[in-house]
Amino acid sequence: MLSQDKRHIIAKRIAEELEDGQIVNLGIGIPTLVSEYLDNKEVFLQTENGLLGMGPPATEENLDIDLINAGKEPVSYLKSASFFSSADSFALIRGGHVDVAVLGILQVDIHGEIANWAVPNQPILGVGGAMDLVTGAKKVIVAATLFAKDGTSKLVKELTYKTSGIRKVDLFVSEYAVIKFTEEGPRVVEILEDISIEELSEKVGFQLEFENAFHIQNFI
């Protein structure tokens, strides 16, 4: 599978998790693609540099370089939009007023703790809003291909990269599976690839379990 296809499978599946009326923050990378699959859902996108009600990317006609998203790309805004300062924007985030944050990750451990800001062996000079979003959003969904370029699993028993915070995320959507984090450990909610849970466990390096015995395999 091409990496671009994997990214879209993940984005499309995450879009299914979102509900009408929700305030949603989409991180940079795969999370941004989620907006392409919202169809007719009325979801309000928040961007941490100070906008609720973000619209599609700017076109040549409506380009205004003051108006950007957190990835510094020019965007548009909807009729329902509001603009506010960075302090207000993070009050919204930390204060639990954002329903869902969709974030990229480098690693997620079996309890749902994530590492998504510091790349190992490189100077750590950027964090942006990553830690605020992990801490404050009501629900956190993480989006990533299951394996890094070197073939190692991003779902790990213990983080080897630097943690983004002690808050555990709710859901990890990769191109292979949707995984929920529970008190008992990670539980596979749905498999998105033509692969058995045994094969998936082997790839990840430890045994994965389904959320319940009566699972439905949802092949694409």
The residue ranges that bind another protein (CB under 8 A) are: 47-51, 63-68, 72, 74, 77, 83-87, 89-91, 93-94, 118, 123-132, 135-136, 162-167
Q: Which is nearer to another protein, 24 or 114 (CB)?
A: 114
167, 146, 178: which is closest to 13 by C-alpha? Answer: 178
How far is residue 168's CA from residue 170's CA, in Å, rounded to a whole number? 7
Minimum CB–partner distance for residue 215 and another protein (Å):
33
Tokens standing for residue 210: 């389904």
Nearer to another protein by C-beta: 163 or 201? 163
Q: Which of 17, 36, 48, 158 is catalytic?
A: 48
Nearest to 108 by CA among 141, 86, 130: 141
Note if 48 is an active site residue. Answer: yes
Smallest distance from the beta carbon of 136 to another protein, in angstroms? 7
The residue (of 23 and 204) whose beta carbon lies closer to another protein is: 23
SS (H, E, C) 167-179: CCCCEEECCCEEE
CB of 172 to another protein, least distance (A): 19
Distance of CA 172 to the CA centre of its chain: 8
- Kindly list the catalytic residues: 48
